[in-house]
């Protein structure tokens, strides 16, 4: 049967092809920090880094690729994202489109289960979940290494939110060998991150800008040159479940990164007076016998890494120190997970 031309056109116009998937990834806290890139375009880091995934903090992201869309769309916690966030996600989708040889645009909806304004980084969990959902929606089942490589392009620390538990990101020498892998599962060593939320203010300078200034500090070269030794010490300490060996190296690495930040041009001061109060208290508690050490990312909040048996005491002591400090606790988390993937044609 021959359909009249107009009717045929209408049928084709109404046919929408959509591919959708949802993934979840956890945030992570670095023990050995990523700070500075050798190539910022592809986020090739200056040094290898090491982190622990955070079970209690995650992003859940749905991606729908559709030939009915003329541009990418982004909702964060059900609200339209600010233009800068959409631009960054769209740039990552460009990377994925090139990789997947697709020209489709995407509708992205991401939910963080932790307060966005709490000063806890969401880019790691967000870009890890986005990468897994976006590739799975198009039917790609990539290896963990491939996913980590791709997530890295969206946000460096997202590379470490793909594998499970305790994770090492190999700096590598080029795009294809800069990826993260697990060194131990979440249950290998029951540590907890007890986060002292000191300020909910939005960072004045985000990590991406910060990385770009790292080389203006005369200390960055020394930090990078000595990072491999600290990384090795931290890996040995984790594998031996040796808190006494882990604590000083974690604190030293955090202090070194902040020394670089403070001596960059322009200088970046993320610590607040309260951050230092908590850091000094943590060292005192360790001297008293508690398994606890501190580390800070690009913000004033203090991550108190604890042996699980001491986490409740540390949380209570933080409140005693200052009742205004909000405390968020997290055990070691797993890797990024695909929740649903339905290739669909309406």
Contact 142, 124 (CB under 8 A): no
Between 8 and 228, name the residue whose CB sits nearer to ligand DP6: 228
Least CB distance to ligand DP6 at residue 177 (A): 17
Between 62 and 123, name the residue whose CB sits nearer to ligand DP6: 123
Q: Give strand pairing partners of 292.
A: 306
Using only the alpha carbons of the chain, give its radius of gyration: 22
CA distance 57 to 49: 20
Between 211 and 317, name the residue whose CB sits nearer to ligand DP6: 211
Task: Give, in order, the Cα–Cα distances in Å from 251 to each of 75, 196, 303.
Answer: 37, 16, 11
Q: Retrieve residue 215's tokens.
A: 């080389």
Between 53 and 64, name the residue whose CB sits nearer to ligand DP6: 53
- One DSSP character per residue, 290-332 reads --EEEE--SSS-EEEEEEGGGHHHHHHHHHHH-TT-EEEEEEB
Least CB distance to ligand DP6 at residue 43 (A): 5
Least CB distance to ligand DP6 at residue 296 (A): 8
Between 50 and 306, name the residue whose CB sits nearer to ligand DP6: 50
Least CB distance to ligand DP6 at residue 22 (A): 22
Q: Retrieve residue 326's tokens.
A: 């909000």
- Residue 40's contacts (CB-CB under 8 Å, 6 or more residues apart) are 211, 212
**Closest to 188 measured CA to CA, from 333, 328, 305:** 333
Sign of the alpha-carbon torsion through 207, 211, 217, 221: positive
Least CB distance to ligand DP6 at residue 121 (A): 6
Between 22 and 155, name the residue whose CB sits nearer to ligand DP6: 155
Least CB distance to ligand DP6 at residue 171 (A): 12
Give the residues lining the site for ligand DP6 (CB under 6 A): 30, 33-35, 43, 49, 121, 123, 155-157, 207-208, 211, 297-298
Pairing, β 105-112 against β 73-76? parallel
Least CB distance to ligand DP6 at residue 340 (A): 27
Least CB distance to ligand DP6 at residue 120 (A): 10
- Residue 286's contacts (CB-CB under 8 Å, 6 or more residues apart) are 247, 292, 293
Contact 251, 233 (CB under 8 A): no
Between 251 and 297, name the residue whose CB sits nearer to ligand DP6: 297
Task: Give, in order, the Cα–Cα distances in Å from 52 to each of 153, 207, 268, 304.
Answer: 20, 19, 25, 13
Between 161 and 164, name the residue whose CB sits nearer to ligand DP6: 161
């Amino acid at each position: 049967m021959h359909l009249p031309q107009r009717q045929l056109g209408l049928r084709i116009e109404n046919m929408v092809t959509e591919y959708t998937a949802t993934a979840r990834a956890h945030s992570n806290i670095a023990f050995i920090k990523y700070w500075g890139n050798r190539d910022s375009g592809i986020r090739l880091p200056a040094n290898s880094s090491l982190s622990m995934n955070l079970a209690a903090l995650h992003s859940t992201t749905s991606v729908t690729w559709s030939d009915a869309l003329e541009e990418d769309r982004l909702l964060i916690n059900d609200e339209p994202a600010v233009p800068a966030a959409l631009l960054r996600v769209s740039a990552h989708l460009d990377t994925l489109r090139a990789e997947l040889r697709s020209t489709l645009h995407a509708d992205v909806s991401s939910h963080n289960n932790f307060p966005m304004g709490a000063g806890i980084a969401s880019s790691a969990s967000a870009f890890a979940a986005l990468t897994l959902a976006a590739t799975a929606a198009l039917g790609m089942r990539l290896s963990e290494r491939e996913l980590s490589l791709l997530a890295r392009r969206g946000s460096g620390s997202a590379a470490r939110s793909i594998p499970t538990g305790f994770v090492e990101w190999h700096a590598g020498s080029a795009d294809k060998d800069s990826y993260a892998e697990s060194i131990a599962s979440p249950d290998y060593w029951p540590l907890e991150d007890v986060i002292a939320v000191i300020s909910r203010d939005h960072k004045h300078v985000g990590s991406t800008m910060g990385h770009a200034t790292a080389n203006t500090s005369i200390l960055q070269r020394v930090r990078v040159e000595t990072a491999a030794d600290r990384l090795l010490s931290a890996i040995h300490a984790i594998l031996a479940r040796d808190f006494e060996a882990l604590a000083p190296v974690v604190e030293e690495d955090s202090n070194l990164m902040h020394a670089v930040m403070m001596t960059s041009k322009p200088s970046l001061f993320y610590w607040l007076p309260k951050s230092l109060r908590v850091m000094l208290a943590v060292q005192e508690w360790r001297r008293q016998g508690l398994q606890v050490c501190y580390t800070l990312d690009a913000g004033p909040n203090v991550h108190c890494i604890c042996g699980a048996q001491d986490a409740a005491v540390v949380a209570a002591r933080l409140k005693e120190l200052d009742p205004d400090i909000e405390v968020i606790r997290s055990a070691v988390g797993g890797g990024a997970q695909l929740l649903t993937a339905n290739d669909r044609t309406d």
